[in-house]
């Protein structure tokens, strides 16, 4: 495992960005990044994993009881009824012959609960995915180049769960199959978990990594779940994420990578490499518990997974209700 020099994040980020760059790999006009690894054969492989027909939603709920505490101006969803059963009962909706109905609206930041980070979400030294100038990609009109809407038809294929919380957590004496906040998941941890599960991770896979932090937050209260310390992937996994050629990665934490970060003065350095340079689709705050319980029972850690973002034109992220089918 590569040793991190905590005092020199700039050099580490630059070296990882260069080593893991996919700029130009799929042409100068590419808007999909690593989703290009999901081809028709990969989707057929994923569909063939459905055996029992059981399905799992991997989304947290979208409501006022969510995890947001105002960090970076993010709030929980505000759900408003526009018309209700009371309106229908009073007959004041203006419809004939007893017809009535209800209607509602929701207002929320697109990354307040289970979501994907789009390719326009993170920049490195003013550069967005594929080397484009950040100011030419995301403007006041939104992401006018790599908006999340481009990804809507593509996020479906073979899903793989690595329950690092159970495998590594228990091996290191952590309770309940949960990793503590600040625990950095290394390539060795990922490899050991894959071996324990008897599953391989490779090109075009949608990788899910369970840390157990969401389990703990539900038991003990949200606290700083959305923006605070958390277990997560080590910066040193950048090379592994690149070599495996996965299409996407998602975790049950708010920020995907370990917090506090592994450098003395850096903010989300792994994001800074994998999104603008690798073009990797990153998911956060996914609910993996029910799926993990089922995988533990039947010993099968691969499944069909569909997780389409909402095609919100120009968005740099999107809520998602991922569904795994085994």
> DSSP characters for 131-198?
G-BHHHHEETTEETTT-GGGGTTT-EEEEEEE-HHHHHHHHTT-GGG-PPTTPEE-HHHHHHHHHHHT
Q: 21-34, pLDDT tens digit by residue?
A: 999 999 999 999 99
DSSP-derived pairing of the beta strands 232-233 and 184-185: parallel
**Residue 75 structure tokens:** 């709030």
At 2 the pLDDT is 65
Q: 102-136, pLDDT tens digit by residue?
A: 999 999 999 999 999 999 999 999 999 999 999 99
DSSP 8-state symbol, 124:
B
Question: Could you state, in order of their start, the residue ranges of all structural domains in the chain?
Answer: 9-72+110-325, 78-106
Number of residues that make up the chain: 326
Q: 178-196, pLDDT tens digit by residue?
A: 999 999 999 999 999 999 9
At 138 the pLDDT is 98
Beta-carbon contacts of 28 under 8 Å, excluding residues fewer than 6 positions away, are: 130
Is 299:97 a contact under the CB 8 Å cutoff?
no
When computed from its CA atoms, the radius of gyration of the chain, rounded to whole angstroms, is: 21
pTM exceeding the 0.85 threshold for the entire prediction = yes
The superfamily (CATH) of domain 9-72+110-325 is Putative cyclase (3.50.30.50)
At 1 the pLDDT is 53
> What angle separates helix 164-171 from helix 289-298, to the nearest 10 degrees?
70
At 238, the pLDDT band (50, 70, 90 cuts) reads very high
């Amino acid at each position: 495992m590569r040793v991190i020099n905590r005092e020199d994040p700039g050099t580490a980020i630059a070296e990882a960005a260069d080593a893991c760059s996919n700029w130009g790999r799929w042409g100068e006009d590419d808007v999909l990044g690593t989703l290009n690894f999901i081809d028709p054969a990969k989707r057929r492989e994923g569909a063939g994993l459905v055996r029992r027909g059981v399905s799992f939603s991997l989304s947290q709920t979208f409501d006022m009881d969510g995890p947001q505490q105002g960090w970076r101006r993010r709030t929980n969803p505000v759900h408003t009824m526009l018309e209700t059963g009371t309106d229908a009962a009073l007959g004041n909706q203006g419809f004939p012959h007893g017809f009535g109905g209800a209607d509602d609206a929701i207002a929320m930041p697109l990354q307040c609960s289970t979501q994907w980070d789009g390719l326009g979400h993170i920049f490195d030294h003013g550069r967005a995915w594929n080397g484009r100038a950040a100011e030419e990609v995301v403007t006041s009109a939104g992401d006018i180049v790599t908006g999340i809407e481009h990804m809507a038809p593509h996020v479906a294929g073979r899903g793989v769960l690595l329950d690092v919380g159970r495998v590594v957590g228990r091996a290191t004496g952590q309770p309940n199959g949960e990793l503590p906040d600040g625990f950095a998941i290394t390539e060795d941890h990922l490899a050991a978990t894959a071996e324990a599960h008897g599953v391989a991770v490779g090109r075009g896979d949608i990788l899910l990594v369970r840390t157990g932090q969401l389990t703990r937050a539900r038991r003990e209260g949200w606290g700083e779940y959305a923006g605070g310390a958390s277990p997560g992937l080590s910066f040193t996994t950048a090379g592994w994420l690149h070599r495996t050629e996965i299409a996407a990665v998602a975790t049950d934490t708010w920020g995907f990578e370990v917090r506090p970060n592994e450098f003395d003065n850096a903010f989300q350095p792994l994001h800074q490499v994998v999104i603008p340079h690798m073009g990797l689709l990153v998911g956060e705050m996914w609910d993996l518990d029910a799926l993990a319980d089922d995988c533990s029972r039947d010993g099968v850690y691969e499944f069909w997974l569909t997780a389409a973002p909402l095609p919100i034109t120009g968005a740099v992220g999107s809520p998602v209700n991922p569904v795994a089918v085994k």
